Chain A
Amino acid sequence: MIKAILIFNNHGKPRLSKFYEHYSEDTEQQIIRETFHLVSKRDENVCNFLEGGMLIGGSDNKLIYRHYATLYFVFCVDSSESELGILDLIQAGIAGAPARAVSAVKNMNLPEMPRNINIGDISIKVPNLPSFK
């Protein structure tokens, strides 16, 4: 299961955070900070998985992240998720996001086309929600 989705910038400033388990605001920020420290230390060309003692989930927990320009997209997941699947999901979440979200992403200084990643060929369908009025 996905425990949390965190998006923060290169300075660790949260842009979006979604926790699927309840934590107090302080703990949430602490998790974001800790995650940022772990993730920001890593080079560009190293693997996208991180294990180890986190505040969330304990030993079963994994961090899977991608770094696009100024933003980190981090998923905290447990062992029931496929690592490569989540990477694809992050990819699809950005590449396949509806137009409005893309403009928001642009606003966040994202590259328009995320670099091509050669992992699997899982077909991802992101349904476009009809716009509401």
Chain B
Amino acid sequence: MALKIVKGSIDRMFDKNLQDLVRGIRNHKEDEAKYISTCIDEIKQELKQDNIAVKANAVCKLTYLQMLGYDVSWAAFNIVEVMSSSKFTYKRIGYLAASQCFHESTDVIMLTTNQIRKDLSSPNQYDTGVALTGLSCFVTPDLARDLANDIMTLMSHTKPYIRKKAVLIMYKVFLKYPESLRPAFPRLKEKLEDPDPGVQSAAVNVICELARRNPKNYLSLAPLFFKLMTSSTNNWVLIKIIKLFGALTPLEPRLGKKLIEPLTNLIHSTSAMSLLYECVNTVIAVLISLSSGMPNHSASIQLCVQKLRILIEDSDQNLKYLGLLAMSKILKTHPKSVQSHKDLILQCLDDKDESIRLRALDLLYGMVSKKNLMEIVKKLMLHVDKAEGTTYRDELLTKIIDICSQSNYQYITNFEWYISILVELTRLEGTRHGHLIASQMLDVAIRVKAIRAFAVAQMATLLDNAHLLTGNTQRNGICEVLYAAAWICGEFSEHLENPMQTLEAMLRPKVATLPGHIQAVYVQNAAKLFATVLRSQEGNTEGTAAQETSQLMIDRLPLFVQSANLEVQERASCILQLVKYIQKLQQKDVEVAEEVNALFAGELNPVAPKAQKKVPVPEGLDLDAWINEPPSESESEDEKPKAIFAKEEPKHSRPRHTEVDEKELARRREARKQEQANNPFYIKASPSSQKVYQDAPGVEHIPVVQIDLSVPLKVPGLPMSDQYVKLEEERRQKERAEKKKKEKKKRKEKRSGRGKKHDSGPESEEDITPAHMVDIVTEEMPENALPSDDDDKDPNDPHKALDIDLDKPLADSEKLPVRSHRPTEAPKSPAEDGDTESAAPQEPKKKSSKEKKEKKKDKEKDRKKSKEEKKKKKHKHEEGEDLLGGQPDEPAVQSEETNEVAAPPTSTSAEVSDLDFWLSNAPVPSNSQEAATVAAAAAPVPQEASGTAPDSEPDEPKDTETEETKSSKHKKKKQKKEKEEKEKKKKKKHHHHHHHSDGGGDESVQNGTVEEEEEPLPPMSNYCLLAENSYIKMMMEDADQVCDIQGNLQDGSQVVVSVIFENKCDSFLKSMEFNVLDSLNSKLQRPEGAGPHDGLTVPFQLPPGVSNEARFVFTVQSIVMPQKLKGTLTFIVKNEDSSTHEKLDFKLHFTCTSYLITTPCYSDAFAKLLESGDLKCSSVRLEGVNMPFHHLLARICFHHHFSVVERIDSCASMYSRSIQGHHVCLLVKTADQTVSIDAKCDEPSLLGNVLDEIKQTFSQC
């Protein structure tokens, strides 16, 4: 055996570790795959060994191989083995591997649940940490559900290291198990004010991430975040919060107004570029949300633009890039402010960094105006010439076209210039965007009628010089332009100066090398040209010319007839036959021109791209209806085909279509005509549009002729667009001069019209001169059109499930599933078990809602000035006092209870109005803090609720009560809380400190044995007042709750004390330290390294009026005696101007009851226990107890942690167990106000003390 171990360790020495593996891979560059496969074989061998160290090493190597892309899922089980190692170094390797390769469909994941839970509750914080980190990567819905509660408990861990991780992982849990969001949210919110900056930052991150997806649910947190933003100095946190505000402002413009000032301050004060940038971004978002009105924000815009300019001018490329990025956001709403920085942006076009150039291009898009378009495009054209690399050049090309064509050529004042630009762009070699240029040419030529003559002339030149473009056809996308050129020349051939020449150009043999679809257009348009030529030639006396033309066609067309392209072939043969026929007619001296022209008569109008989609479905046509009834399921298979091809089919469908009767059709046609008539953009065959064209004197006046003379169009390579820029400038100057002279002329003359526009800037939209006439075909029947991009949300987005209203108070059914921790001991009553455990997470929830209410109260105080409010409050006060003083406990509780149940709408609306109030209240945060006066004096919370919810009908409470008694643990908690609150009130009034036990009432249904409950149970609390002074109040929960969930009852018994700290003053309490003088028997657990007299820092600060709970763990050696511990709480009271140290002494009273844990017990086990004879006996008699028996039992259960084993009439057996495993059995009998308790326990002194305590409990009531 020993030999084996030695042998094993020697073997291990020769094992490769991760470093060897990496080195090995480096040394086997040539045959890496082979080397790795041998390594994987080795790893497989290593995994087969029992030695965990070997396994861990193997798994470690696998993790790296996984990163290299090798599938290691086969080792999943080994990974789980390594994860469950007790040694941290191995565990860490295991978790790392798991986080790297586990995912939802990994089946071994379900084996890990218990292991992870164990690690989460490990006393070693690093075990917990590594489990949390790993879990965050592979959490599944099942794991999330099972572990949510454990993780939530960790959110209040004493170590910030754990709290931080627990908070972060909750995000993943929410994603996988959305039901957990509401129960966990209050605690998450609490963590926003955690004293540890790391935890705080984590909470901010999680909430920001949640809020980004569903911002509206988080609007109510805005005040809290606002406070954080104005108080935090952590830039990381600030960035996140500011980003979050960016997401929130679109929903609530008032928020934006409130933000502007602090953000502006930050912009001015911060030196961190990243923070500055985010501030600017959010200010931009705010400005966008406020874009209407708000004249006084121009200063903010100016500030943003100015800061961005600094970023852009920075030598750091990153800043430059981001500056441009943010600039483009401003551009959308405030283009003018950006336009003034045109120089800078044009400068960026020269930047060596392509990303920056592209960003600058994006900006240019929004910066153009009628005034500067030519100039900008000229600059871009220069860049096109200089650009290296086709991608950037193509990008430039598309940008030029985008810029020019945006919003229906809005900024183009001179289309001749634009056509020349397009023609110039055809010189680009190797561009992929030939079709883009082509479609622009077509679009402009078709839609801008005034430009057709010029366009046709240009296109004719292009066709003439086609060889320049088609140099290397196949890889050159630019030849697409010829498609447009041919079509334009053909369609608008009447504008051609020399159609014959163009026709010849189109029939050149070289055309056959063009792509098929272009040839097809060539052939078709050659026919159109032919018609035009015929007409002109027939007009002349010479008939021979026309015949020659026909001959030319007949000679050339066969080339195309032979084309491999079907389309070309078909068109060519058709036209060839036609021409042959025409030739015959010509030979007979028949005039054919008119008829040939008739073939191509009429105008082709552009159709909007979405027109087809927008055609409305006719009334009565149900597209989803079955044309045929689907074959019924029962039909046998061989019948089916018959049914499909049945002859009834047409009969079914036809009537449906003809249902729309003639009248209806006529009516609709009429309506449509009406609409078209009213639609200025609809192109009609009416003479009006024709008139526009004919009336356009501009066509002649535009310096077409000049250009034709000055710029040799025959060489399309020349940048004639520049000429236009010059001309345009001259023209504008002239116009300005002209305009001064004669204002009136501008209507008549197109140019002065332009001039006016020029002067009034890009904004003016009036006076569209004929040359600008851009026909827009609007979509037909737009009222039926749906916005096409309405479904941009991914249905699989996990965040959809997280769209949960968080302001609604928690319902009883909403809680995190809690696993029973002692399944073997208590299979019968997991609920009971859960109760003790779930107590932890539930309480803070309740508390935070309390906090909310208190905040509300504070707000109310704030409103004191308004008299109305004051009255209302008074009213509430009175009501509250009535309830409190005038009535016995029970009804008051009942009405509170109703309010709890009926509250949801009220409290949400209260929440909303809270936000409203915060938003409408202009003053800055310090104000609100100031206003937060002491809760102590304010109206008691529940009463306030009853004031707002007037509908507390008398019969309702009963219902809810009885319902409640049936089960819900949550309600118990609630009751507890309420009770506690009431106690507080009492305390406030009487101001005396005594070890308190609550008033009448009891609790039942501890483990479902007492079912026939007749009377509602008043709430009970385990919290008692610990100490109080004018600053702070401490409430202690009767030290109960054993932490040691694993059932390690023998060693180190721990007791957890929950203390509620409530800030009663109007100052901020911070740096709270909780310290207890240890006794020999009990010790406060302090963090490692702390001395025995060091205090524990309370992990939170208390703003005024807020209360929070902290837990402290004590180690107790002997539990047979009750004990008292003296302690002190020191804290700093911070006012606006001063801060003082204060301290508060208290006594912690550990009763013996505190050491008992509610443990359910079977009746047979109970009987055995009693029979065993190991137990000592003792008994006690209580006189004058006049309460129902079940109340009595419930009290014992609740206050002394017993559970009912069996109950027969007025006799019950009860059981409990101490944290050190002592059994305590009770037999409770009652008769005539006398209760006798016979008790047995294996530790007599413990028993005696417990009985004394029970006695005391009942003597107090």
Contact = CB atoms under 8 A, between A and B. Distances in A.
Nearest to A104: B19
A84 B272 CA distance: 10
A46 B277 contact: no
Interface in A15-50: 15-18, 20, 22, 25-26, 28-29, 32, 43, 45-50
A85 B274 contact: yes
A112 to B, nearest CB: 20
Interface stretch (B219-227, B250-258, B350-358): B350-358
A47 B274 contact: no
Nearest to B235: A122
A32 B66 CA distance: 13
A128 interface: no
B69 A28 contact: yes
B277 A25 contact: no
A80 B352 contact: no
Given A14-B68, A45-B317, A132-B126, A119 B103 contact: no
Nearest to A8: B67
B89 interface: yes
Contacts of B273: 84, 119-120
Contacts of B371: none
B239 A47 contact: no
Given A45-B317, A47-B321, A132-B89, A121 B352 contact: no
B1049 interface: no
Interface string B56-75: 00000000001111110000
Interface string B85-100: 0001100100000001
B320 interface: yes
A43 B317 CA distance: 11
A95 interface: no
Given A82-B239, A132-B88, A46 B353 contact: yes
B353 A80 contact: no
Contacts of B67: 14-17
Contacts of B88: 132
B239 A45 contact: no
B208 interface: yes
Given A25-B70, A85-B236, A118-B316, A47 B355 contact: yes
A46 B355 contact: yes
A25 B100 contact: no
B322 interface: yes
A46 B274 contact: no
A26 B71 CA distance: 9
Contact of A49 (B277, B318, B354): B318
A23 B224 CA distance: 37
Nearest to A82: B239
A43 B357 CA distance: 14
B854 interface: no
Contacts of B103: 22
Contacts of B240: 80
Contacts of B322: 49, 83-84
A17 B63 CA distance: 10
**Which label, helix, strand, loop or mixed, suits the secondary structure of the B interface?**
helix
B1102 to A, nearest CB: 26
B271 interface: yes
Interface residues of A, number: 36
Given A29-B69, A46-B353, A46-B354, A122 B272 contact: yes
A120 B356 contact: no
B210 to A, nearest CB: 11
Contacts of A1: 209
Contact of A25 (B69, B92, B137, B278): B69
Given A82-B277, A120-B235, A47 B320 contact: yes
A123 B271 CA distance: 12
B212 interface: yes
Contacts of B126: 132
Nearest to A86: B274
Nearest to A48: B318
A16 B66 CA distance: 10
A87 interface: yes
A122 B69 contact: no
B130 to A, nearest CB: 10
A20 B104 CA distance: 13
B243 interface: yes
Interface in B646-685: none
Interface in B307-325: 316-322
Nearest to A22: B103
B229 interface: no
Contact of A82 (B68, B137, B212, B278): B278
A32 B100 CA distance: 15
Given A120-B235, A120-B273, A84 B318 contact: yes
B318 A119 contact: yes
Nearest to A7: B67
A90 to B, nearest CB: 12
Contacts of A49: 318, 321-322, 355
Interface in B190-212: 208-209, 212
Interface in A63-94: 80, 82-85, 87-88
A43 B278 CA distance: 27
Given A28-B69, A85-B239, A122 B274 contact: yes
B243 A120 contact: no
Contacts of B316: 118-119
Interface string B229-244: 0000001100110010
Interface in B482-511: none
B317 A120 contact: no
Given A25-B70, A26-B69, A132-B126, A82 B353 contact: no
B275 interface: yes
A47 B89 contact: no
Contacts of A121: 271-272
Interface in A84-133: 84-85, 87-88, 118-123, 132-133
A14 B67 CA distance: 7
Nearest to A13: B68
Nearest to B247: A80
Contacts of B239: 82, 85
Interface string B1159-1192: 0000000000000000000000000000000000
Interface string B255-283: 00000000000000001111101100000
B104 A50 contact: no
A122 B271 CA distance: 9
A83 B355 CA distance: 15
Contacts of A48: 317-318
Which of B69, B71, B88, B126 has the most chain A CB atoms inside 10 A of its CB? B69
Nearest to A88: B274
Contacts of A14: 67-69
A46 B356 CA distance: 8
A113 to B, nearest CB: 19
Contacts of B274: 82-85, 88, 119-120, 122
Which of A25, A29, A48, A88 has the most chain B CB atoms inside 10 A of its CB? A25
A43 B321 contact: no
B330 to A, nearest CB: 17
18 contacts: A13-B68, A14-B68, A15-B67, A45-B353, A46-B353, A46-B356, A47-B321, A49-B321, A49-B322, A50-B355, A82-B274, A84-B274, A84-B319, A120-B271, A120-B274, A120-B275, A122-B272, A132-B126
Given A46-B352, A46-B356, A132-B92, 19 more contacts: A13-B68, A22-B103, A45-B317, A46-B354, A46-B355, A47-B317, A47-B321, A47-B353, A48-B318, A49-B321, A50-B355, A80-B243, A82-B239, A82-B277, A119-B274, A119-B316, A119-B318, A120-B273, A132-B126
Interface of B: 66-71, 88-89, 92, 100, 103-104, 126, 137, 208-209, 212, 235-236, 239-240, 243, 271-275, 277-278, 316-322, 352-356
Which 9 A-B pairs have CB atoms at the shortest separation, nearest pair first? A84-B274, A22-B103, A120-B272, A47-B317, A29-B69, A46-B353, A47-B321, A120-B274, A120-B273
